[in-house]
Amino acid sequence: MTTTVAYWQNMTENPYKILEHQVEFWGKTLQNMMDVQNAFLASDPSMLGSKETDTRFENRLWNTNPYFNFVKNQYLQNSDLIKSTARNIDGLPEREKKRLIYFTDQIVEMMAPTNFLGTNPDALELALDTNGQSLIDGLENLIADLEANDGELIVRLADDKAFEVGKNLGTQAGKVVYRNNLLELIQYSPKTENVFEIPLVIFPPWINKFYILDLKKQNSLISWLVSKGYSVFVVSWVNPDETYSDIGMDDYITDGYLRVIQVIKSITAKDQINALGYCIGGTALGLTLAYLNKTKDSSIRSATFFTTLTDFAQQGEFTPFLQNDFIDAIEEEVSQSGILKSFIMARTFSFLRSNDLIYSPAIKSYMMGQTPPAFDLLYWNGDGSNLPGKMAIEYLRGLCQKNSFSLGEFEVKGIPVALDNIRIPVFAIGCETDHIAAWKDSYRGVQLMGSEEKKFILAESGHIAGIINPPAKNKYGYYLNQNLTLDSESWRRKANHISGSWWPEWEKWINSYSGNQVEARKEGSTSYPPL
């Protein structure tokens, strides 16, 4: 309603602006029609125009066939008009404008001609070449996806038959040394005669599974660390059901982080450990560190954050999903089911990159009958976990909407904590094209931490690929700038670009906090035997 009022107000106050857009639109439409007509009459495909380069329109028919060329050009022109109209409406609050732009873009992407069989030359050509078998295979893929998700249409991004956790993913040798209602703690078996005395614990996000850092052997960060002599522990979070409805962030910190810290200290007979948190696992690690500081507990020697948000002042691409109407609906959902189901989170993240994560995979699977690729990162991405209802709302309302951690108003076990309470050495990695934890927001959170020693790296690529970047591949580089007093744009502009993986840069840092070498430890202890 607010948007409609703003549009008509703009039209009333500046009708020439609207008319200008309309005249331009109809002029281009007539030109498209003339190009097609002339090409038909002359039987000369070279007379057809091409508006822009778009990976969705790589098939030659988009530029040589008058019908497809007209459909493509008209779609691109309509898209430009609709998007520019949404972006040029004046008088809207900033958040409302972001929502308008987001949902406008979603409609535009959904209506792309490539998403419909009758206007997708790739799918039509393949159907002809296979005598329709590709369409039959596509229908079977569609039915399989519906059956696998209890009637919910969730497009498979990876071949789920190509991987099995413990067989060709998550194969680094280790043993479970502790278990409670929230987690299992894995201690990995040493590969070296001696290990560093200070152990390292990794807290993955509990939205997905622990093996993100132990995929195939060649890109396993855990395997790489163990081979260098680190004693590595990893938390494997439980996938909650409706009985976990009353589990909140305090429970994750108390029965998760704080309990794990005590168990590892006992097993290794060390007073301090190093900690690493990934995504929401890093957010909760930040809360834990602030709480430990307030309670005068020095159990953590250093902290590493992978693509972690701790300051939510800028909601970025998540703006449409962090308004009251959306979270009200989430709250109603979890009040009935007790949990925020994993497919809701997966779908939300997918719509931030709908072309890459929804429409393109759907086209290949349902229209062209292709088997999803055997890609370990995408397999992990589809292996999601539910969230306890109480924790989900605390996270969305308290951290995301109210930004209470940054403001010093979020309570851990009844004690208010703030980013400034984090005082130990910190190393953080943001990812350049991360659509979940925007690097500028991650950087700003690190700036607000009270640590005297802070280091920030900007890795190329996205939320997962930017982290899973082993030195052997040297696929992506990174940016490094020691001056964290600069704003994010200045920091990026003045940073040095370094080719290759950032892993060795971080390992050199974590090494300095890992103490001397001691004889390799067996898994578990008398008090915590392997389960």
Catalytic residues: 279
Alpha-carbon distance 316 to 323, whole Å? 12
Q: Which residues pair with 237 in a beta bridge?
A: 183
Structure-token pair, residue 487: 């704003």
Question: What's the CA gap between 113 and 62, in Å, rounded?
Answer: 11
Helix %, strand %, coil % for the chain, to 5?
Answer: 50, 15, 35
Q: Which two tokens stand for residue 501?
A: 């993986």
Other Cβ atoms less than 10 A from the Cβ of 406: the count is: 20
Contact 323, 446 (CB under 8 A): no
Residue 512 neighbours by CB under 8 Å, 6+ apart: none
Phi, psi of 371 (to 5 degrees): -75, 135
Amino acid at site 19: L
Between CA 450 and CA 444 the distance in angstroms is: 12
Residue ranges with strand state E in 331-483: 339-340, 387-388, 410-412, 415-417, 426-431, 454-459, 478-480
d(CA 521, CA 161) in angstroms, rounded, equals 36
Calculated CA dihedral for residues 428, 429, 435, 438, nearest 10 degrees: 40
DSSP H helices, 65-132, are 66-87, 94-110, 121-129
Write out the two tokens for 521: 């430890």
Q: What is the DSSP letter of 120?
A: -
- Other Cβ atoms less than 10 A from the Cβ of 343: the count is 17
Phi, psi of 340 (to 5 degrees): -95, 110
Dihedral of alpha carbons 340, 344, 348, 353, sign: positive
Q: Helices 133-148 and 121-129, interaxial angle, to 10°? A: 110
Q: Choose among 403, 476, 396: nearest CA to 441.
A: 403
**CA gap 222, 209 in Å, rounded:** 14
In 107-179, the DSSP E strands lie at 174-179
